[in-house]
Chain A
Amino acid sequence: ELERLSNLVGKPSENHPLHNSGLLSLDPVQDKTPLYSQLLQAYKWSNKLQYHTSLASGLLNQQSLKRSANQMGVSAKRRPKAQPTTLVLPPHYIDDVINRIDRMFPEMSIHLSRPNGTSAMLLVTLGKVLKVIVVMRSLFIDRTIVKGFHENVYTEDGKLDIWSKSNYQVFQKVTDHATTALLHYQLPQMPDVVVRSFMTWLRSYMKLFQAPCQRCGKFLQDGLPPTWRDFRTLEAFHDTCRQ
């Protein structure tokens, strides 16, 4: 008799369009456990996800095809040429470029050192206003930190401190702007021009505390002097006045 009953129970489940999960909807305790509705939602969600991924993969495939095609064509020719000239430069050439810049600006003194291998580190002292630590990779500037003229730029063991920031808000702001300038002055074919234009821009901070803002005409805004220098005209602006 048990066999007869079990046959009766087994048959309707096979006919159901959602197969075994469809039985969940027949469960009388559905009001208490929202299992069935959750199941339906999960099903819809995974359906949508599949649809979107197929669209996205279609789009990405188009793009990646183009880019890889570009790389194929260009990298083979340009890479071996461009990289050796800009990334691997002899140290005496770098010394030479830095020396020339040092002589160009009398109010700026540049001290070059190589504490860790071939990468040069510059300590730039601008008048009696500020000091800048410049970390170079070949002739590319990797990182700059601006500090006050009387702030300590060395760690306890006498090395240049390239990690800690200035104690003063003004110089923290100028550090941010200097980092922006690094990204702005880019010319991979002529790295010495980049360093020179960066230093020219940096030199405009000589009058950090003396120049009023070119837009609002005031010295202070939120307690800070005009910390921004325009990349082309080198005019002084407050951070919020420059737009």
Chain B
Amino acid sequence: MGVTCVSQMPVAEGKSVQQTVEILTRKLELLGAEKQGTFCVDCETYHTAASTMGSQGQAAKLMYVMHNSEYPLSCFALFENGPCLIADANFDILMVKLKGFFQNAKGNKIESRGTRYQYCDFLVKVGTVTMGPSARGISVEVEYCPCVVATDCWNLVMEFMQSFMGSHAPGIPSVFSNKHDSIYSPADTIVQYMELFNKIRKQQQVPVAGIR
């Protein structure tokens, strides 16, 4: 477990999602990265049920239940801006029992799937973000495994991301600046994925012509 930065790669002009992913992965392979199987991060949305809401008429809160193939035995449950709970994988079954309090927003499932690459001490995961049947965007996750303090190695990670993403390399993620000198945890990665998925959900759907 190291410091991870999750970002979105915009779809290249006149190219489909698939083609942009291929361009990215080819660049990585030219750099010397080795393919190491696949990865998947998924996210399901739950609403707080109306019956549990207080009389003050607070807005329904959204809760996200997420899985990361990097941590196959864990399940992450988190509120936006709220705490992040790390539980065993059978937490999903518990959620079914909590139907009275949290209702699954059907059709809101969003996930990112793709290939996992290793380059030296870096792990790079380029994934296609899909919601239902349509591809919505591209996620790029870069993990620098030897380091545990996010702000220590940010410049180094940034330089690496620029080497294959060019000008699309992202700015410093907000979770990094909140961490100061504390140790990076897998929950920080999941929070970044949640933010990315929320951003993609709000974006206009990619024109259908661009998808194969």
Q: Does A209 contact B119, Cβ atoms closer than 8 Å?
A: no
CB distance from A141 to the nearest CB of B (A): 23
In the assembled complex, A210 has its CB within 8 A of some CB on chain B: yes
Q: Does A168 contact B145, Cβ atoms closer than 8 Å?
A: yes
Interface residues as binary, A133-150 with B (CB distance below 8 Å gives 1, 0 otherwise): 000000000000000111
A residues 107-156 in Cβ contact with B at 8 Å: 128-129, 148-150
In the assembled complex, B120 has its CB within 8 A of some CB on chain A: yes
The answer for the CA separation of A128 and B185 in the assembled complex, in Å, is 14
- Would A168 and B146 be within 8 Å (CB), given that A222-B120, A223-B119, A223-B121 are in contact? yes
B residues 145-171 in Cβ contact with A at 8 Å: 145-149, 152-153, 155-156, 159-160, 163
The answer for the CA separation of A148 and B32 in the assembled complex, in Å, is 24
- Count contacts on A: residues with CB < 8 A to the other chain: 19
In the assembled complex, A219 has its CB within 8 A of some CB on chain B: yes
- Count contacts on B: residues with CB < 8 A to the other chain: 21
In the assembled complex, A30 has its CB within 8 A of some CB on chain B: no
Q: Does B122 contact A223, Cβ atoms closer than 8 Å?
A: yes
- The chain B residue with its CB closest to the CB of A207 is B152
- The chain A residue with its CB closest to the CB of B147 is A209
Q: Does A128 contact B181, Cβ atoms closer than 8 Å?
A: yes
Residues of A within 8 A of B155 (CB): 210, 212, 219
In the assembled complex, A170 has its CB within 8 A of some CB on chain B: yes
Q: Interface residues of B: mostly helix, strand, loop or mixed? A: mixed
The answer for the CA separation of A213 and B47 in the assembled complex, in Å, is 50
Interface residues as binary, B179-198 with A (CB distance below 8 Å gives 1, 0 otherwise): 00101000000000000000
Q: Does B121 contact A168, Cβ atoms closer than 8 Å?
A: yes
The answer for the CA separation of A150 and B152 in the assembled complex, in Å, is 15
In the assembled complex, B1 has its CB within 8 A of some CB on chain A: yes
- The chain B residue with its CB closest to the CB of A224 is B120
Interface residues as binary, A214-238 with B (CB distance below 8 Å gives 1, 0 otherwise): 0000111011110000000000000
CB distance from A19 to the nearest CB of B (A): 68
The answer for the CA separation of A171 and B1 in the assembled complex, in Å, is 15
Q: Does B156 contact A220, Cβ atoms closer than 8 Å?
A: yes
In the assembled complex, A71 has its CB within 8 A of some CB on chain B: no
Q: Does B146 contact A171, Cβ atoms closer than 8 Å?
A: yes
Q: Does A209 contact B1, Cβ atoms closer than 8 Å?
A: no
Residues of B within 8 A of A218 (CB): 159
Q: Does B159 contact A220, Cβ atoms closer than 8 Å?
A: yes
- Would A169 and B121 be within 8 Å (CB), given that A128-B183, A148-B146, A209-B147 are in contact? yes
Residues of A within 8 A of B145 (CB): 148, 168
A residues 200-216 in Cβ contact with B at 8 Å: 209-210, 212
CB distance from B77 to the nearest CB of A (A): 24
- Would A128 and B149 be within 8 Å (CB), given that A219-B155, A219-B159 are in contact? yes
The answer for the CA separation of A63 and B17 in the assembled complex, in Å, is 74
The answer for the CA separation of A218 and B162 in the assembled complex, in Å, is 12
CB distance from B173 to the nearest CB of A (A): 17
Residues of B within 8 A of A223 (CB): 32, 119-122, 160
Residues of A within 8 A of B120 (CB): 169, 222-224
Residues of B within 8 A of A225 (CB): 156
The 6 tightest CB contacts between A and B, nearest first, are A223-B120, A209-B153, A168-B146, A219-B156, A209-B152, A219-B159
List 23 interface pairs A-B (beta carbons < 8 Å), by A numbering.
A128-B152, A128-B183, A148-B146, A148-B148, A149-B148, A168-B146, A169-B121, A171-B146, A209-B147, A209-B152, A209-B156, A210-B152, A219-B159, A220-B163, A222-B120, A223-B32, A223-B119, A223-B120, A223-B121, A223-B122, A224-B120, A224-B121, A225-B156
